[in-house]
Chains A and B, each alone.
Chain A
């Protein structure tokens, strides 16, 4: 059992790495397309809607296979499994974050935008200085929820051979046949990082409440 730990921890490391990189990208995607979705420009709104609907309307497993196997089958574009994994988790989480950003920004009273604009701030400055700081605070629980979903989604990347936590577990028990023990440890490791994230988010929420 102990022999398995280094491999599992390596897998955990991969899971965390992919999650962090992907969520950083997803936050940018979510913010940009979230702003598109509330813009006055019909084209931008349309792009955002199509993106969100396609991603939400298809299973993430299909998206993984599509990027890693589907696209290379008809084009010269090839991704490493790692890159493909990050692309899929990013655009998948990004689509859900678009909705979170849209709802969060819309929840701020429109008088805030008007007050910012009448002082002479541009739309972008008002967003950055006045609207987003208030909106992000309200979005925090939804963010954390999506982060947790995304961490768990990375386990599906095992199908394209990324040695993340689940894949690492599979490779061990297929050699030593201790599936029960190994999968229990795998489950516990997922639980620990997700629970740690939950605690961090509660702490963050408390801290933001003070200000």
Chain B
């Protein structure tokens, strides 16, 4: 589904991703963990080219998205993204946030888009907030609305960039619940997270990154209970 080969990314002289090779299967849930500054967010942002890779290739369903000949706007419709800071559009209601893209990019009628929007809002438990502006939502509600917005484009892959890191602790659970439901439905997901409990429970595979490399990857129980690499051991002993 996603195939990443020799991915490199530098900001000026700073080399953030040194040589990343990874694959994500259809319906697989992959959690990316690692210390801050390890390049995990940059790695995720390269997958939909929010960051332009300095080198290497990224294939989404066999299409190389780093090739400038491919229409990146079309490609991104397959890749839903959820941000740490939600990034809802403050000048639109929650429902308008969700319907904006399907209406304009998938040429859905107003009614059709709103119907899908309401279904998604029910799914994330925010149906009664449809007509509200994002400023009036709590952090957890904002993030659930942002997930609904991404799902409205019917992506085949969802990318999550530390979706719960900006939330108050009591808000984290609701967002993780929504993500678990998505995983159960068979959504392909790549999740950069600090929620080790969630990663252990939901991930099919965990990738540990440090210093711009993938240091170790494997099933959650392998990584969490029996890490092979000393950097993985050091990191986990700090966070668990």
With the chains together, A137 CA to B79 CA distance in Å?
31
How many chain B residues touch the partner (CB < 8 A)? 24
- Considering the complex, give the chain B residue whose CB is closest to the CB of A129: B100
Q: Are B83 and A119 in contact (CB under 8 A)?
A: no
Question: Taking A111-B85, A125-B104, A129-B104 as contacts, is the C-beta distance between A119 and B150 under 8 angstroms?
Answer: yes
B66-78 CB contact bits vs A (8 Å, 1 = yes)? 0000000110110
Q: Contacts of B100 on A, CB cut-off 8 Å? A: 119, 129
Q: Contacts of B105 on A, CB cut-off 8 Å? A: 119-121
With the chains together, A111 CA to B73 CA distance in Å?
17
| Residues of A103-126 whose CB lies within 8 A of B | 109, 111-112, 114-122, 125
Tell me if A133 counts as interface (CB < 8 A to partner B).
yes
Q: Are B91 and A118 in contact (CB under 8 A)?
A: no
Which of B79, B101, B149 is packed against the most chain A CB atoms within 10 Å? B101
Q: Contacts of B81 on A, CB cut-off 8 Å? A: 115, 118
Tell me if B48 counts as interface (CB < 8 A to partner A).
yes
| Residues of B72-110 whose CB lies within 8 A of A | 73-74, 76-77, 79-81, 83, 85, 87-91, 100-101, 104-105
Q: Are A120 and B83 in contact (CB under 8 A)?
A: no
Instruction: Say which residue of B90, B91, B153 sits within 8 Å of A119 (CB atoms).
Output: B153
Taking the nearest CB of chain B, how far is it from the CB of A49, in angstroms?
23
With the chains together, A205 CA to B118 CA distance in Å?
31
Tell me if B50 counts as interface (CB < 8 A to partner A).
yes
Query: Residues of A at under 8 Å CB distance from B?
Result: 109, 111-112, 114-122, 125, 129-130, 133-134, 137, 211
Q: Contacts of B50 on A, CB cut-off 8 Å? A: 114, 117-118
- Considering the complex, give the chain A residue whose CB is closest to the CB of B74: A120
Taking the nearest CB of chain A, how far is it from the CB of B124, in angstroms?
17
Instruction: Say which residue of B87, B88, B91, B146 sits within 8 Å of A133 (CB atoms).
Output: B91
With the chains together, A129 CA to B92 CA distance in Å?
10
Instruction: Say which residue of B76, B89, B90 sits within 8 Å of A118 (CB atoms).
Output: B76
Q: Are A211 and B73 in contact (CB under 8 A)?
A: no
Q: Contacts of B73 on A, CB cut-off 8 Å? A: 117, 120-122
Taking A120-B73, A134-B91 as known contacts, 7 extra A-B pairs with beta carbons closer than 8 A to each other, sorted by chain A number, are: A112-B87, A116-B89, A119-B77, A119-B101, A119-B150, A125-B104, A133-B91
Q: Are B79 and A118 in contact (CB under 8 A)?
A: yes
Q: Contacts of B77 on A, CB cut-off 8 Å? A: 119-120
With the chains together, A125 CA to B149 CA distance in Å?
17
With the chains together, A211 CA to B81 CA distance in Å?
27
Q: Contacts of B87 on A, CB cut-off 8 Å? A: 109, 111-112, 114-115
With the chains together, A119 CA to B101 CA distance in Å?
6
- Considering the complex, give the chain B residue whose CB is closest to the CB of A115: B87
Q: Contacts of A109 on B, CB cut-off 8 Å? A: 85, 87
| Residues of B140-160 whose CB lies within 8 A of A | 146, 149-150, 153
- Considering the complex, give the chain A residue whose CB is closest to the CB of B45: A114
With the chains together, A99 CA to B202 CA distance in Å?
49
Q: Contacts of A137 on B, CB cut-off 8 Å? A: 91
Pull 23 A–B residue pairs with CB atoms less than 8 Å apart, ordered by A: A111-B87, A112-B87, A114-B50, A114-B83, A114-B87, A117-B50, A118-B48, A118-B50, A118-B79, A119-B77, A119-B149, A119-B150, A120-B76, A120-B101, A120-B105, A121-B73, A121-B105, A133-B91, A134-B89, A134-B90, A134-B91, A137-B91, A211-B91
With the chains together, A129 CA to B99 CA distance in Å?
12
Q: Contacts of B150 on A, CB cut-off 8 Å? A: 118-119
Top 7 A-B pairs ranked by shortest CB distance?
A115-B87, A120-B77, A111-B87, A118-B81, A119-B101, A120-B76, A120-B105
B146-182 CB contact bits vs A (8 Å, 1 = yes)? 1001100100000000000000000000000000000
